Amino acid sequence: MPRQRPRMSFEYFPPRTQEGKAKLLQETTPALNELDPAFFSVTYGAGGTTRDTTLGVVSAIREAGIEVAPHLSFGGDDENAIGTLIDTYQERGINRLVALRGDMPSGMGGSSQLVYANELVAFVRERTGDHFQIEVAAYPEIHPEAKSYDNDIQFLKGKLDAGANSAITQYFFNVESYFYFLDQCAAAGISKPIYAGIMPIINFANLARFSRNCGAEIPRWICQRVEGYGEDQESIRKFGIEIVTQLCQTLLDSGAPGIHFYTMNHIEPTREIYRNLGL
């Protein structure tokens, strides 16, 4: 039997300005949509800080007839506020969600208690039944707050058992970490798909800073290579495309069920990598 086409999806964050939003909707989305992704997803700011902008971008993409998944977390909100937001998504014809615990933005920590993603999944299922296709987050290099490797896998299982359909991973550059993780998940009784999250290299300095916080490792050889290029941005760009293309090729050749691109709201390099893969 021929293998199913891998599922491809593209992630955005909600732009801060009207110009940014217009560019995302009028230029970036039509260009990336030509690549025929299964859906776009739009992040939700820590603590609910982008509630309206996420809703605005998601609604506009849906109105253009394109499949879209808002990310969602309780943040500091109560069940009423989150319930109303979920109902609005349902009314607007959205049938996918990425359910997260999220993090508190700095300065907002304090009294609010973060709600674990498994509880959000259960809440969505209780409120809307099977309406939404729910994704959750997975961490091949393990979530920075996890007590242990096995413990983190058990919590992923908990989110999937609570009713999520599949998982999308944090980005990684060590392909072995992903396949080892899949094996460990299978051994723990997880049979739902775990899609590979891939970060094209756009701004290496930002990526390096962000990676330190989210627990994704950039291998030393990649750092050394980029450092050697100094200010030569064109060489960094080409190197980034080359290694991320290779990473995706390995994933697809080895049977990954699909890839979720963290596009950072850019058409390139995602489009170039996609073309290199002959998709």
Q: Which residues bind ligand FAD (CB under 6 A)?
A: 43-44, 46, 71, 98, 100-103, 116-118, 137, 143, 145-146, 151-152, 155, 159, 168, 170, 197
First to last CA, the chain: 20
For ligand FAD, the closer of residues 103 and 272 by Cβ is 103
Q: Residue 11: helix, strand or coil by DSSP? A: strand
Residue 11 is among the residues annotated as catalytic for this protein = yes
Nearest to 61 by CA among 90, 41, 43, 46: 41
Q: Provide the token pair at 59.
A: 């609604």
Nearest to 177 by CA among 268, 267, 256, 105: 256
Nearest to 28 by CA among 50, 60, 55, 52: 60
What element of type H or E holds 251?
helix 233-253
Query: 96-99 and 194-198: which strand pairing?
Result: unpaired
Query: 194-198 and 68-72: which strand pairing?
Result: unpaired
**Shortest distance, position 47 Cβ to ligand FAD, whole Å:** 8
**Shortest distance, position 159 Cβ to ligand FAD, whole Å:** 6
For ligand FAD, the closer of residues 170 and 211 by Cβ is 170
For ligand FAD, the closer of residues 73 and 245 by Cβ is 73
**Shortest distance, position 120 Cβ to ligand FAD, whole Å:** 8
For ligand FAD, the closer of residues 101 and 271 by Cβ is 101
For ligand FAD, the closer of residues 168 and 201 by Cβ is 168
**Shortest distance, position 116 Cβ to ligand FAD, whole Å:** 4
Q: Where are the alpha helices (DSSP H) in 129-148?
A: none
Cα angle for residues 263, 268, 271 (degrees, 5° grid): 85
Helices 149-161 and 175-187: crossing angle in degrees, nearest 10, is: 60
From the list 11, 67, 135, 141, the catalytic residue is: 11
CB 168 within 8 A of CB 133: no
CA 139, 142, 144, 147 dihedral sign is positive
**Shortest distance, position 255 Cβ to ligand FAD, whole Å:** 20
For ligand FAD, the closer of residues 9 and 28 by Cβ is 9
Helices 233-253 and 220-229: crossing angle in degrees, nearest 10, is: 150
Residues with a catalytic annotation lie at 11
